[in-house]
Amino acid sequence: MPRCQNIDPKIVRSAKFIEFGKIPVNQYNKSLHEERQNFTNEDLIRIYHDMVVIREFETMLNLIKTTNEYMGIRYNHPGPAHLSIGQEAAAVGMAYTLDKDDYIFGSHRSHGEILAKGLSAIHKLEEDSLYTIMKTYFGGSTLGVVENGFSGSIKELALHFLLYGALAEIFARGNGFNKGLGGSMHAFFTPFGIYPNNAIVGGSGDISVGAALYKKINRKPGIVVCNIGDASMGCGPVWEGISFAAMDQYHTLWEGDQNGGLPLIFNFMNNLYGMGGQTMGETMGYDILARVGAGVNPDMMHAERVDGYNPLAVIDAFRRKREVIREKRGPVLLDTLTYRISGHSPSDASSYRSKEEIEAWQKEDSILTFGNTLFNEGVAGAELLQQIRDEAADILTHILKLSIDDSVSPHLDLVKDPDLIGKMMFSNGSYDRMEDGIPEVLMPLSENPRVKSIKTRERFHKDKEGNPVSKARLYQLRDGIFEAVIDRFFKDPTLAAWGEENRDWGGAFAVYRGLTEALPYHRLFNSPISEGAIVGTAIGYGMCGGRVIAEIMYCDFLGRSGDEVLNQLPKWQAMSGNIIRMPVVIRVSVGSKYGAQHSQDWSSIVAHIPGLKVVFPATPYDAKGLMNSALQGTDPVIFFESQRIYDVGEMFHEGGVPEGYYEIPIGEPDIKRSGDDITILSIGATLYPVMKVADILKEKWGMSAEVIDARTLVPFNYETVIQSVRKTGRIVLTSDASSRGSFLKDMAQTITELAFDDLDAPPVVVGSRNWIIPAYEMEEYFFPQPGWIIDAIHGKIIPLKGHKPESDWSAGKSLKLNREGV
């Protein structure tokens, strides 16, 4: 259904003022006495206990890092440890109301948050399910270490399990929560609702929005809390995440029970510093961080500053904000004021702040203050408080011993299996749907106007008489992608898609035309112009268990989603210890005609990044089969589509593009024409000029060229290419990417290694020039042309009788261009 929201000039042109309401700052003012009806003694003592455990955990790590010793136990931890001594009340207050269905995301400084959330989950879970969670995690290997010789309750065992899983992870041990592949800045444990912490400042800013979308779209219980630092408010992904989370459409266009805001709290752990930069007074201009909420939406994001030095103030805020979320009025922004007594890292000399300042905050230390309050109110005697602190130290001494004992806590054994991490990069799953259920659609597939119109199209480029089919009647490459996408929407209830102009516009270049009619808003929607968050939210949605297609309108805009594509999407499967799967397809349209910032083929850049599958089909048959595979899998796939060839018909597959479902395995190149004299390997749209080259070679020199369409960059089965080279002894590689540092060069080098003895000449790469891409009228001087390929064959592989080259492929020219860097 197309959107219908008329914009009336009379209304939008009328004069008025924007009124901002009040944003509460540290308004909590209840005494413990007044809070007694909300907390039992046991609750209050638990809050104290949880803060103490976190303090001891971080103190132990600080001592290990700075003195290599804790309680007489010596250990050298070479890795990072960004500690949160001072921030315990903020962490415990944040986690207190949350249970395992509530997800937290974090930052490089999240040990305290992990422990607080874990402790809260342990408190709320029944013993049976708690034990099952521990027993089934990595087949019980983490539990086995702490269970051995343990005599206590399940809840006490769970405390040991939590501390051990986190510490072993920090020390890169195989029994850690993420098999030691996450480490201090990325440790997490999803069964307790602890989702990835992120070493990239602000990295969780958009990923957490995707998690909230997952909960909303799939009607899952719980809320999402994005714990990030005050300095991350300067980061693009955070601003983009906030815009994405606060879109009007959740209230104006999403229908039925989907109408309403996201279940999300951006909780800024505001310790007033970046590393050394002061966010208030130096590096930011917000003065009080909560102010930012005022500009975001008319609800001002329900923004508030809370005193994160008082756990009860934070709990109070979370209780109130949960109500806001229950009423579907999210997202919420909390500015939780706290202070980091510890350095940014243990090597930090705190040269950027005065001793007086640190001492002033130490005087108000939350554990000290809260302990005194409990004592004064008669909740706990000094002895009990001391006992809690002593027990925490005892447990941590025990856990430290276990965590550094190589016999029970070894690192992953890369001696025994040097390829172990390689095996963890992809999950290689195959699922029709990520969850059972009935997909929500607005009409039967057969009644969809686009589906009906495609039915009438010719699925091969020539009709039965062998005449070319007109464009209007031709089944095009874009139709292949559409068929795979709509088919999956009718199969997988979790599938959602978003990007710029994905809905009424019909998707960029009309690939999605017809989808709007078939799908409700919550399964297909227009995003803000936020390429970072388009990908970041897809990552969050995928890691929570949903399948998703995100779209980047032009490949050139991938730069805007650099961190998400290069640092987040490829890494979480392996960094989680394979706890997480990532069924995320990023469609990337490679432009043409629009010049230097709209026409680049950056497939080589993503192919360089370990952890991404990279696909680039050039025919309708391949596009449909590869999209089907991408959408059947559980790995991140960057799916390149060239705008030059969206309207080509199928020229290669006999019988045209099948109507039914089929998959083409990702990683298999395809021989588009057989030949004996030379191999031409092409990636993407250059397939078509290459076919011209093959014709010319045949006509003029009687040479038969074997044309191989790579179809995929990663993974890539070289067998097909090597067998071809064995036969032809010669190979040219071509694509629209600028040649320097391209994936073609990587392929040429691999082919040289694998088939050196079979080659008559070195593999020759014919890529685009190392320039800006000029206007359409001059594109033929930039992108590989049939003439260039023939000249390159003539100049570098085999002289072609009588050929007069127009381009220079001499060694001298190559040296000159490289010397000049162009």
Ligand X SMILES: Cc1ncc(C[n+]2csc(CCOP(=O)(O)OP(=O)(O)O)c2C)c(N)n1
CB closer to Mg ion out of 94 and 424: 94
Read off the tokens for 552. Answer: 């980047």
| Residue of closest CB approach to ligand X | 229
Length of the chain: 822
CA nearest neighbour of 797 among 769, 765, 757: 765
Q: What share of the chain is helix, strand, coil (3-state, %, to 5)?
A: 45, 15, 45
The single residue of 251, 598, 608, 803 carrying the catalytic annotation is 598
Cβ–Cβ contacts within 10 Å for residue 556, how many? 22
d(CA 372, CA 352): 31
Q: Of 271, 342, 642, 738, which one interacts with ligand X (CB under 6 A)?
A: 271
Stretch that binds ligand X, among 102-110, 205-213, 353-361, 694-702 (CB under 6 A): 102-110
CB closer to ligand X out of 365 and 551: 365
Decide the pairing of beta strands 705-709 and 637-642: unpaired
Q: Give the shortest CB-733-to-Mg ion separation in angstroms.
A: 48
Read off the tokens for 703. Answer: 């040479």
Q: Which does 182 bind (CB under 5 to 8 A by kind): ligand X, Mg ion, none?
A: none
Q: Give the shortest CB-88-to-ligand X separation in angstroms.
A: 14
Q: Establish if 229 lies at the interface with ligand X (CB under 6 A).
A: yes
CB closer to Mg ion out of 230 and 500: 230
CB closer to ligand X out of 512 and 572: 572
Cα 532 → chain centroid: 10
Q: Of 85, 231, 290, 477, which one interacts with ligand X (CB under 6 A)?
A: 231
d(CA 26, CA 259): 32
Per-residue binding string, Mg ion, 309-338, x by CB under 5 A, is ------------------------------
Q: Which does 420 bind (CB under 5 to 8 A by kind): ligand X, Mg ion, none?
A: none
Continuous segment of H or E residues that includes residue 336: strand 332-337
Q: Which does 232 bind (CB under 5 to 8 A by kind): Mg ion, ligand X, none?
A: ligand X
Q: Establish if 230 lies at the interface with Mg ion (CB under 5 A).
A: yes
Q: Establish if 108 lies at the interface with ligand X (CB under 6 A).
A: yes
Q: Of 199, 384, 420, 798, which one interacts with ligand X (CB under 6 A)?
A: 199
CB closer to Mg ion out of 233 and 367: 233
Identity at 199, one-letter amino acid code: A
Read off the tokens for 531. Answer: 């390429």
Stretch that binds ligand X, among 230-238, 582-590, 705-713, 751-759 (CB under 6 A): 230-238
Decide the pairing of beta strands 705-709 and 73-74: unpaired
- Are 555 and 640 a contacting pair, CB within 8 Å? yes
Where in 264-283 is the site for Mg ion (CB under 5 A)? 271, 273
Q: Establish if 229 lies at the interface with Mg ion (CB under 5 A).
A: yes
Q: Give the shortest CB-351-to-ligand X separation in angstroms.
A: 15
Q: Of 32, 45, 63, 200, which one interacts with ligand X (CB under 6 A)?
A: 200
What's the half-sphere exposure (Cβ side, CA atoms, 13 Å) at 518?
26
Q: Of 275, 442, 443, 596, which one interacts with ligand X (CB under 6 A)?
A: 275
Q: Give the shortest CB-279-to-Mg ion separation in angstroms.
A: 6
Helix axis angle for 620-632 and 477-489, nearest 10°, is 20
Secondary structure of 25-42 in HEC code, one letter for each residue: ECCCCCCHHHHCCCCCHH
Q: Is the peptide bond before 715 cis (omega within 30 degrees of 0)?
A: yes
Stretch that binds ligand X, among 89-97, 149-157, 197-205, 217-225 (CB under 6 A): 197-205
Q: Give the shortest CB-402-to-ligand X separation in angstroms.
A: 28
Identity at 743, one-letter amino acid code: F
372 φ/ψ angles, rounded to the nearest 5 degrees: -60, -40
Cα 716 → chain centroid: 23
Identity at 696, one-letter amino acid code: I
Size of the site for ligand X (CB under 6 A): 15
Q: Give the shortest CB-79-to-Mg ion separation in angstroms.
A: 21
Q: Which does 206 bind (CB under 5 to 8 A by kind): ligand X, Mg ion, none?
A: none
Q: Which does 628 bind (CB under 5 to 8 A by kind): ligand X, Mg ion, none?
A: none
Decide the pairing of beta strands 584-590 and 548-552: parallel
CB closer to Mg ion out of 268 and 572: 268
Q: Establish if 730 lies at the interface with ligand X (CB under 6 A).
A: no
Q: Establish if 571 lies at the interface with ligand X (CB under 6 A).
A: no
CB closer to ligand X out of 358 and 384: 358
- Are 667 and 607 a contacting pair, CB within 8 Å? no
Q: Measuring CA to CA, how many Å separate 414 from each of 144, 147, 328?
A: 22, 26, 48
Query: Does residue 598 have an active-site annotation?
Result: yes
Cβ–Cβ contacts within 10 Å for residue 726, how many? 14
- Are 641 and 675 a contacting pair, CB within 8 Å? no
DSSP code string of 633-702: SSS-EEEEEEGGGTTPPP-SSTT-S-SS-----TT--EEEE--SSEEEEEEGGGHHHHHHHHHHHHHHH-
CB closer to ligand X out of 64 and 272: 272
Per-residue binding string, ligand X, 148-187, x by CB under 6 A, is ----------------------------------------
CB closer to Mg ion out of 229 and 786: 229
- Annotated catalytic residues are 598
Residues that bind Mg ion (CB under 5 A): 229-231, 271, 273
Residues that bind ligand X (CB under 6 A): 107-109, 199-201, 229-232, 271, 273-275, 344
